[in-house]
Chain A
């Protein structure tokens, strides 16, 4: 097991090096000249020279690449161009609001999707199944922006059930987070139910289910002990892979509801051409993604003894 994990980590290193290189290329080379982005169209040549040296742009690409790797390892991404706050501070500020939105929404959404899809798999082929599947496909066909706009307009503006906009630290945050959490769950349920239903139905067709039936086990028991156990592998894998996106947050929900999290921070950075923040964001997102992919593989190996670690 340990050698499997180590091998998996070793395999992730070149991928991360590649991601770092792509990020550097994207932001320092393909974007044209970072200096002109920061200083505008007609800057003072002296200022330009000073900034080029400050940002290390006078050095060869490989040297800048190693600098960037050092930044990633030490988690020190320099200062924001917009207001000179260290990027690390910006992240610290945004993490709490983001997680207070994404974690409850993720747990709630996961719970709802898994139970609905098991229920639908239990009643497969009936009207309930058909209606739910049709509703799911209709649900994923609506743009996420429509959910947010209509939800905000109808539930908050017209019916005054929730506040339209804003955030408070502390327990009163619940008041502001209820509507965005609700919309997040709505957004995720359609895709997830479709996925989990397929997973459950594939399991139900397998031989061990027929064996269990011929033994005379109740359908309910087959579904909730035998099938659920076998489904848990893809379910947990999917949930684990989704975790990094909890930290990057939901850009759209944060912007619409004025939650000062990482998503809205990133968007502000993009509109201000604040390269250090966007760069740090991209690379951190990728690092988290790689880490949680490794975790998903490890869970997979623990949960399913049939998987050989060779």
Chain B
């Protein structure tokens, strides 16, 4: 009898599945999403190693040197992509600097903007949504008022206005005196702040609506009956049940943040004094007309592949995490 049971797929022998492992199992089933996750990881490693090299080496940064200055035998000015040295793999800019290194540094910039910008937005949106949905009454009224007001100002306009103001105002002066200003430049910090302060509304709405539903469930009542504090119920019991919204929204905001960096930088209120994808695309405007297409192609493709990968992963995350889609 026992030997017979062991031959079958006995459910008893399987370890209990946590929601996270269940989600991962469903995510893995989507092959292309797994590939996209691998691409994303590769970008992350590039960003990380670029940062590590820069910390070691200090200024002048390699991306600011021409290939000639690095002792390589290349023509001054623009070189088309060639296989000679890996530094010239994507060619050189019209100033003779390695496009590859600039794309790598741009990757680092993109990850800082994406992670911190989206991170700030998600923290604001999640906390306010949670408070509004759970506490109700005047807190709910205030939060609703706050996000309808913010949402009423057209997005690009709000971003531009805020970017413009942060540059002029006392925040910049405060930032430049901090020690971390050396590692994350002022322009980058501005963008993170602008994106964080403008992109939290969608998540806040979603979390608020979901929390309003979850609040009425029996297990929350049970937690109340046990005498747990509001804060504890909110963050330990309610939050895990709406956290899938936070993860999905983070992936979406991550890409919008990177794309916003490109546009803000292009319009002259973003990253300056270091190469970013936006900066490269801005420079490409005049280079393109001289037939120098490779810096634009490199920055554009780098941005495209990362955005595509994260969009795909985001879609797959939605399928894997949404409890309504479980079979």
CB pair B263–A145 under 8 Å, yes or no, is yes
For the complex, what is the distance from the CA of A30 to the CA of B170, rounded to whole Å? 7
Query: Helix, strand, loop or mixed for chain A's interface?
Result: helix
Across-interface contacts of B158 in A (CB, < 8 A): 282
CB pair B145–A18 under 8 Å, yes or no, is yes
Within the complex, the shortest CB–CB distance from A153 to chain B, in Å, comes to 5
For the complex, what is the distance from the CA of A270 to the CA of B166, rounded to whole Å? 13
CB pair B300–A146 under 8 Å, yes or no, is yes
Nearest CB in chain B to that of A34: its residue: B168
B70 at the interface (CB under 8 A from A): no
CB pair B164–A19 under 8 Å, yes or no, is no
| Given A30-B165, A248-B157, A282-B153: A15 and B285 interface contact (C-beta under 8 Å) | no
For the complex, what is the distance from the CA of A286 to the CA of B154, rounded to whole Å? 6
A161 at the interface (CB under 8 A from B): no
Q: Would you give the 0/1 interface string for B283-314, flagging 1 where the beta carbon is closer than 8 Å to chain A?
A: 01100110000001000100110011001100
For the complex, what is the distance from the CA of A30 to the CA of B281, rounded to whole Å? 30
CB pair A31–B168 under 8 Å, yes or no, is yes
Surface stretch bound by B, among A136-144, A215-223, A298-306: A136-144
Q: Which of B171, B307, B315 has the most CB of A within 10 A?
A: B307
Q: Within A1-52, which residues are at the interface with B (CB < 8 Å)?
A: 14-16, 18-19, 22-23, 26-27, 30-32, 37
For the complex, what is the distance from the CA of A82 to the CA of B281, rounded to whole Å? 29
For the complex, what is the distance from the CA of A30 to the CA of B145, rounded to whole Å? 21
For the complex, what is the distance from the CA of A149 to the CA of B285, rounded to whole Å? 7
CB pair B308–A141 under 8 Å, yes or no, is yes
Contact of B281 among A27, A143, A157 (CB under 8 A): A143
Across-interface contacts of A267 in B (CB, < 8 A): 267
A74 at the interface (CB under 8 A from B): no
For the complex, what is the distance from the CA of A26 to the CA of B153, rounded to whole Å? 12
CB pair B303–A22 under 8 Å, yes or no, is no
A245 at the interface (CB under 8 A from B): yes
Q: How many residues of B contact A (CB 8 A)?
A: 44
CB pair A142–B304 under 8 Å, yes or no, is yes
Across-interface contacts of A245 in B (CB, < 8 A): 154
Across-interface contacts of B281 in A (CB, < 8 A): 143, 145-146, 149
A271 at the interface (CB under 8 A from B): yes
CB pair B308–A285 under 8 Å, yes or no, is no
Nearest CB in chain A to that of B266: its residue: A145
Within the complex, the shortest CB–CB distance from B128 to chain A, in Å, comes to 15
Q: How many residues of A contact B (CB 8 A)?
A: 44
A251 at the interface (CB under 8 A from B): yes
Across-interface contacts of A271 in B (CB, < 8 A): 268
Contact of A278 among B145, B152, B161 (CB under 8 A): B161
B149 at the interface (CB under 8 A from A): yes
For the complex, what is the distance from the CA of A26 to the CA of B171, rounded to whole Å? 12
Across-interface contacts of B215 in A (CB, < 8 A): none
Across-interface contacts of A32 in B (CB, < 8 A): 168-170
For the complex, what is the distance from the CA of A289 to the CA of B156, rounded to whole Å? 13
A99 at the interface (CB under 8 A from B): no
| Given A15-B145, A137-B312, A273-B168: A290 and B304 interface contact (C-beta under 8 Å) | no
Contact of B154 among A31, A149, A248, A273 (CB under 8 A): A248
Q: Within A252-282, which residues are at the interface with B (CB < 8 Å)?
A: 252, 266-267, 270-271, 273, 278, 281-282
11 additional contacts, CB 8 Å, given A141-B308, A150-B300?
A: A14-B145, A30-B170, A32-B169, A32-B170, A143-B281, A146-B303, A153-B288, A157-B288, A157-B289, A266-B160, A282-B158
Leading 7 A-B pairs by shortest Cβ distance: A141-B307, A18-B149, A141-B308, A285-B154, A31-B165, A32-B169, A146-B300
- A to B CB contacts below 8 Å, 17 in the list: A14-B145, A15-B149, A15-B152, A16-B152, A19-B149, A26-B161, A30-B166, A31-B168, A37-B168, A140-B311, A143-B262, A146-B303, A267-B267, A273-B164, A273-B168, A278-B164, A289-B152
